[in-house]
C-alpha cells in the first residue's frame, strides 16, 4: 500500500496533470509546468497527508517505516508531521498562488534531497525506508531541476 501511495503522488498524479495541462491548453512542456504539478502533488498533497498521519498516528512512521521501537520516538515523528503539514499546505496553496511555486519547489528540493540522503546513510534500511529514499531523491532532483529551469 505504501509503495502505491508514493508512486501515485510522486509520479502518476504529477505526470498525469502535466499531460492533461498540455492537452487542454496546448501549452508546451516547461520547467514551470513541471514544477507546478510536482509541487501541488508531491509537496502539497503527499506531505499534507503524511503530516496528518504522522500527527494522528506517529507509531506508523516510527515503527513501520523507520524501525524505531521506542515510544519516545513518537514525539519526534509528530513534530515531523507538523513540518510536513506546514510545507504541504504551502504546496497546496500554489494552486491559488502560482507565484509561490518556485519558492516551494526550492523548499521541496532541499527537504526531499536531505531526507533522501538521510535514508541513504542508514546502515539497516528496510524495504519501506528504501522506497522513501528512492522517491525522496527522485522528486528532490525533479524539484532542483525545475527550480533551476524556472529561474533561467
Cell of 108: 521541496
46: Cβ contacts below 8 Å, ≥ 6 apart:
5, 6, 9, 10, 88
pLDDT at residue 65 in the model? 78
pLDDT at residue 148 in the model? 83
* Residue 95, helix vs strand vs coil: coil
pTM, full prediction: 0.88
pLDDT at residue 82 in the model? 97
pLDDT at residue 152 in the model? 61
Question: Which secondary-structure segment (H or E) carries 51?
Answer: helix 46-56
Nearest partner of 15 among 40, 39, 34, judged by Cα: 34
pLDDT along the chain (152 residues), means of 10: 90 97 92 93 96 92 82 88 97 96 94 94 87 94 85 64
pLDDT at residue 124 in the model? 84
pLDDT at residue 34 in the model? 92
Cell of 43: 509537496
Q: What count of other Cβ atoms lies within 10 Å of the Cβ of residue 116?
A: 19
pLDDT at residue 146 in the model? 83
Contact between 109 and 82 under an 8 Å Cβ cutoff? The reply is no
Cell of 32: 514551470
Q: What is the DSSP annotation of 58-115?
A: HHIIIIIIT----TTHHHHHHHHHHHHHHHHHHHHHTTT-GGGHHHHHHHHHHHHHHH
pLDDT at residue 138 in the model? 95
Amino acid at each position: 500500500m505504501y509503495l502505491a501511495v508514493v508512486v501515485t503522488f510522486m509520479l502518476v498524479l504529477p505526470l498525469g496533470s502535466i499531460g492533461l495541462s498540455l492537452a487542454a491548453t496546448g501549452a508546451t512542456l516547461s520547467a514551470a509546468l513541471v514544477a507546478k504539478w510536482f509541487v501541488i502533488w508531491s509537496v502539497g498533497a503527499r506531505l499534507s497527508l503524511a503530516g496528518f498521519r504522522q500527527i494522528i498516528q506517529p507509531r506508523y512512521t516510527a515503527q513501520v517505516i523507520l524501525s524505531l521501537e521506542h515510544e519516545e520516538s513518537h514525539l519526534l515523528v509528530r513534530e515531523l508531521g507538523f513540518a510536513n503539514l506546514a510545507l504541504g499546505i504551502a504546496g497546496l496553496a500554489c494552486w491559488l498562488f502560482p507565484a509561490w511555486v518556485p519558492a516551494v519547489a526550492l523548499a521541496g528540493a532541499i527537504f526531499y534531497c536531505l531526507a533522501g540522503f538521510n535514508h541513504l546513510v542508514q546502515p539497516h534500511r528496510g524495504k519501506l525506508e528504501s522506497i522513501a529514499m528512492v522517491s525522496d531523491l527522485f522528486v528532490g532532483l525533479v524539484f532542483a531541476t525545475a527550480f533551476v529551469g524556472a529561474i533561467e
